[in-house]
Structure 1
Amino acid sequence: MSKTALSVWKNCLSFIEDNIQPQAYKTWFEPIQPVKLTDNALSIQVPSKFFYEWLEEHYVKLLKVALTKELGDTAKLLYIIKMENTYGNKQPFTEKIPSANRTAVQPQEVDVPLKNKSPELKNPFVIPGIRNVKIESQLNPNYNFENFLEGDSNRLARSAGLAVANKPGGTAFNPLLIFGGVGLGKTHLAHAIGVDIKDKYPEKTVLYISAEKFIQQYTDAVRKNNRNDFIHFYQIIDILIIDDVQFFSGKAGTQDVFFHIFNHLHQNGKQIILTSDKAPVDMQDIEQRLLSRFKWGLSAELQHPDFETRVAILQNKLFRDGVEIPNDIVEYVAKNIKSNVRELEGAIVSLIAQSSFNKKEITLDLAKQIVEKFVKNTKREISIDYIQKVVSDYFQMDVDTLQSKTRKRHIVQARQLAMFFAKKFTKASLASIGSQIGKRDHATVLHACKTVDNLAHTDKQFKKYVEDLQKKLTL
């Protein structure tokens, strides 16, 4: 029976599938189409230059063994690459390229370099906010480690950030995912790492970009048929910082392209830094293959700063601004604004502004007026402690009982309700909720939330508990 391109490739795939992970097989081999078999040379069509480069870099030996088994030692492999039009020609075109380590053939008319050999990093297409010749880092030098004060709430994330800045791409923290609620300093820390790297390694290309801008650039690239150029541009970055990566949620095309960029950067020892308002385990509508990569390095949470840290943050800001305020006033502001760093600093700025514009001395009374207005005008953020107190009072028990190890039904239900509302009303991760409500793990919290959902639909009395507590927490 004579061999055809299809039969040879089918047999190669059987061998390849047995030798690599299922996800890798699905991603890198299922999209390939066998085209023709001529003089012991198999031609296969791949979707892009990037695809070709990845196969040659990671699977060339596997391909060689598979093809040799089918066609013998003289076997050759040729790629036919579907390429976007970047030269003004309205017709799509293909380029034939011999596989590495095999007899070369002359490429067709169009000869496009597959790798950027220019020592100067050039932006191959216009990206809003980034110059077209030299890649600007987009970093804010005001966000540095010097003014990112350490406390119990951020020690792990800050220490990991310093380690990454000292040895980008060379630590176990790759990627480094920094997550936490609004205004806790995720963006500040991400910039601080980038700024420190630029100081220590000026030759490295650092790029900070928000997830929203990344999505916008990708959409523009697809519209202009420049998807491959988009990928190649991001492949030349040494330290890629993407802010608010949760916005990738539900964006299948963006997730797919970022998956390829992530793999390339990680494989080549480049550093990836991500920020998010939630832990990977809590992210919705993000592909599992991407979530698993987010977990390869370190996920570090930024929590609400404690009183001592809040005081230190205010004192540091006042020192930098050259303003003196009595300690009792600083402590009053720190004691009454607990939600996040942004609001804390905003309150002290308002206090200084009121004093300056109205030519009033900064007194405790003025501070009380400002804080009262500030807290009233700021959406109240419900804390896990507050939720536990409300739930405990409702069921006429103390918080220690709620957090205890007892398996009594009414206490277990109260604890599950506290976990349910903590997930609903706070930005805390499941792990953080569990640790604060009786030192449980994230799986217990997930189970609690599902149980509350189910009981609220099947048990009238339990539904009333949920409704009553919801009212109390949102008054």
Structure 2
Amino acid sequence: MSLTAESVWNNCLEFIKDNIQPQAYKTWFEPIIAVKLTENALSIQVPSKFFYEWLEEHYVKILKVALTKELGKNAKLVYIIKMENTYGNKQPFTEKIPSSNRSAVKSQDVDIPLNNKSPELRNPFVIPGIRNVKIESQLNPNYSFDNFLEGDSNRLARSAGLAVANKPGGTSFNPLLIFGGVGLGKTHLAHAIGVDIKDKYPEKTVLYISAEKFTQQYIDAIKKNNRNDFIHFYQIIDVLIIDDVQFLSGKSGTQDVFFHIFNHLHQNGKQVVLTSDKAPVDMQDIEQRLLSRFKWGLSAELQTPDFETRVSILKNKLYRDGVEMPEEIIEYVAKNIKSNVRELEGAIISLIAQSSFNKKEITIDLARIIVEKFVKNTKREVSIDYIQKVVSDYFQMDIDTLQSKTRKRHIVQARQLAMFFAKKFTKASLASIGSQIGKRDHATVLHACKTVDNLSSTDKQFRKYVEDITKKLSV
């Protein structure tokens, strides 16, 4: 019986399958296609250069043993690196490849044994010049379900998170989108899901990343002509957790690449967890095709905790810190600080610190002084600078852009809104407002206020901008 590429490779796979983890086999060997056999050289097709580099880095020894068993000691392995259209597009997905391998298909003879110069791994988390091929989860083990206390305000999100952690990719909560205001525990819950999955399924590759860092990695990949490697890196993740996904607003290139990565993960039963400061329906400048995918799973809101939950949070915090405090003081703090968990814990830390540093007993009078100061400080002074910060953050731009001379419509509107709110919330003159917001004159500020009034009454979307920013400035 004559040997064929398929028969040789299938025999190799049988041997490899018996000697590595099932998940590793599925990820790294099932996608390989045997192409041809010429004397003692087997040609195999792999999906990307990244894939080839990973095989070389981790599985060269087992490949050598398997192939030598089949073809003898002079066995050779030839890699054919071919970018496949795995994204469901009508047109093939193509990418510019560096000049050394510009053709769509690259064949490369790799003698076994190989030399010791391993190719550089395209892992966006690796610091250049430092050898580190392991994909670290980037998770914080201090964020767990144990210290994420359940209450009416978070029960749905926490329960869904536990379900995902028990069966990642195997529930209808895929993606799981957790949304809510600042300091309510979105990041904590996202980490807790990842930490629990790593504990239950140590063989799974779990990765936590902020949308901002994801965007920066993508920009770097484009600059270095590594877009395909970037995509493939994220396609091999079993559980991808992206924090503050609203940061992708207006970034069409990053949204496009995330769309392809999301599709691949979802189609292959991998889990996606997202957090956002707003529900999908309220996200601005996110492509409709991406928003529709956010809605495939479950969107769970984290709301402001009620009184009972705030008391439980404080008691848990004190217990973990080994501090005892009278019940009436805990309840006083819980009644007076209602905004979010972060400020609640901050107030109790301030109270403990004052008591410790000044060697004062924790009394209701001390609590009253601390809470009054804390509440006063957290109710930020509404200044023109603060208004500019809130508006620029809302539209995901920096203050320099807001103040610039550009006439781009979305920037002009943001600038006009800043002027409108400065007139509404401060006692500054029109000339002073104009001077502080991009060195404009009083006539520009007057025009901005009239424009905001007009658009608020005629444009539903613009009216929502006004309402959202008003809420943020009124906190």
Fold in common (TM above 0.5): yes
Does the Cα contact within 8 Å between 2:84 and 2:93 map onto a contact in 1?
no
Q: Which residue of structure 1 aligns with residue 398 of structure 2?
A: none
Q: Which residue of structure 1 aligns with residue 125 of structure 2?
A: 127
Return the offset for 1:129.
7.2
What amino acid maps onto 1:84 in structure 2? I
1:190 alignment partner, SS class: helix
Q: Which residue of structure 2 aligns with residue 234 of structure 1?
A: 234
Q: Which residue of structure 2 aligns with residue 280 of structure 1?
A: 280
* Structure 1 segments (4+ residues) deviating >3 Å: 47-51, 79-83, 108-112, 128-132, 452-458
What amino acid maps onto 2:186 in structure 1? K
- After superposition, the CA RMSD in angstroms is 3.5
Q: Is residue 93 from structure 1 mapped to residue 131 from structure 2 by the alignment?
A: no
What amino acid maps onto 2:125 in structure 1? I
Aligned equivalents of 1:369 and 1:154: distance in 2? 30
Change (3 A) 1:287 1:92: same
Report 1:145-224 matches (<5 A): 145-224=145-224
Q: Is residue 52 from structure 1 mapped to residue 84 from structure 2 by the alignment?
A: yes
| TM-score, scaled to structure 1 | 0.60
Return the offset for 1:127.
2.7
What amino acid maps onto 2:270 in structure 1? K
Does the Cα contact within 8 Å between 2:95 and 2:227 map onto a contact in 1?
no
Does the Cα contact within 8 Å between 2:178 and 2:274 map onto a contact in 1?
yes
Aligned equivalents of 1:202 and 1:195: distance in 2? 10
Report 1:10-49 matches (<5 A): none
Change (3 A) 1:154 1:310: same
Q: Which residue of structure 2 aligns with residue 341 of structure 1?
A: 341
Return the offset for 1:456.
5.8
Aligned equivalents of 2:103 and 2:349: distance in 1? 60
Return the offset for 1:311.
0.1
Change (3 A) 1:183 1:374: same
Aligned equivalents of 1:474 and 1:162: distance in 2? 35
Does the Cα contact within 8 Å between 1:50 and 1:228 map onto a contact in 2?
no
Aligned equivalents of 1:355 and 1:274: distance in 2? 40
Aligned equivalents of 1:80 and 1:94: distance in 2? 14
Alpha-carbon displacement from aligned partner over 1:420-473 (angstroms, at most 9, x marks no partner):
x9xxx9xxxxxxxxxxxxxxxxxxxxxxxxxx9769658xxxx9xx99xx79x8
Q: Is residue 318 from structure 1 mapped to residue 313 from structure 2 by the alignment?
A: no
1:84 to 97, 100, 106: 97
Q: Which residue of structure 2 aligns with residue 66 of structure 1?
A: none
Change (3 A) 1:53 1:201: same
Aligned equivalents of 1:338 and 1:227: distance in 2? 45
Change (3 A) 1:240 1:455: closer
| TM-score, scaled to structure 2 | 0.60
Aligned equivalents of 2:190 and 2:303: distance in 1? 16
Return the offset for 1:52.
2.1
Does the Cα contact within 8 Å between 2:125 and 2:135 map onto a contact in 1?
no
Aligned equivalents of 2:257 and 2:224: distance in 1? 16
Q: Which residue of structure 1 aligns with residue 375 of structure 2?
A: 375
Does the Cα contact within 8 Å between 2:126 and 2:132 map onto a contact in 1?
no
Does the Cα contact within 8 Å between 2:96 and 2:225 map onto a contact in 1?
no
Q: How many residues align?
A: 311
Aligned equivalents of 1:279 and 1:265: distance in 2? 22
What amino acid maps onto 1:185 in structure 2? G
Change (3 A) 1:167 1:125: closer
Does the Cα contact within 8 Å between 1:175 and 1:298 map onto a contact in 2?
yes
Aligned equivalents of 2:362 and 2:260: distance in 1? 55
Does the Cα contact within 8 Å between 2:179 and 2:276 map onto a contact in 1?
yes
Does the Cα contact within 8 Å between 1:246 and 1:277 map onto a contact in 2?
yes
Q: Which residue of structure 2 aligns with residue 357 of structure 1?
A: 357
Change (3 A) 1:381 1:183: farther
Does the Cα contact within 8 Å between 2:82 and 2:104 map onto a contact in 1?
no
Return the offset for 1:123.
5.0
Change (3 A) 1:233 1:339: same
Structure 2: runs of 5 or more not aligned: 1-47, 50-80, 111-119, 383-420, 426-451
Identical-pair percentage: 77
What amino acid maps onto 2:102 in structure 1? F
What amino acid maps onto 2:123 in structure 1? F
Q: Which residue of structure 2 aligns with residue 244 of structure 1?
A: 244
Aligned equivalents of 2:137 and 2:209: distance in 1? 9
What amino acid maps onto 2:84 in structure 1? Y
Q: Which residue of structure 2 aligns with residue 37 of structure 1?
A: none
Return the offset for 1:230.
0.4
Change (3 A) 1:280 1:378: same
1:354 alignment partner, SS class: helix
Structure 1: runs of 5 or more not aligned: 1-46, 64-78, 97-107, 113-121, 383-420, 426-451
Alpha-carbon displacement from aligned partner over 1:147-170 (angstroms, at most 9, x marks no partner):
000000000000000000000000
Alpha-carbon displacement from aligned partner over 1:24-44 (angstroms, at most 9, x marks no partner):
xxxxxxxxxxxxxxxxxxxxx
Return the offset for 1:128.
5.8
Change (3 A) 1:323 1:81: closer
Q: Which residue of structure 2 aligns with residue 264 of structure 1?
A: 264
Aligned equivalents of 2:290 and 2:229: distance in 1? 21
Return the offset for 1:54.
1.1
Change (3 A) 1:109 1:148: closer
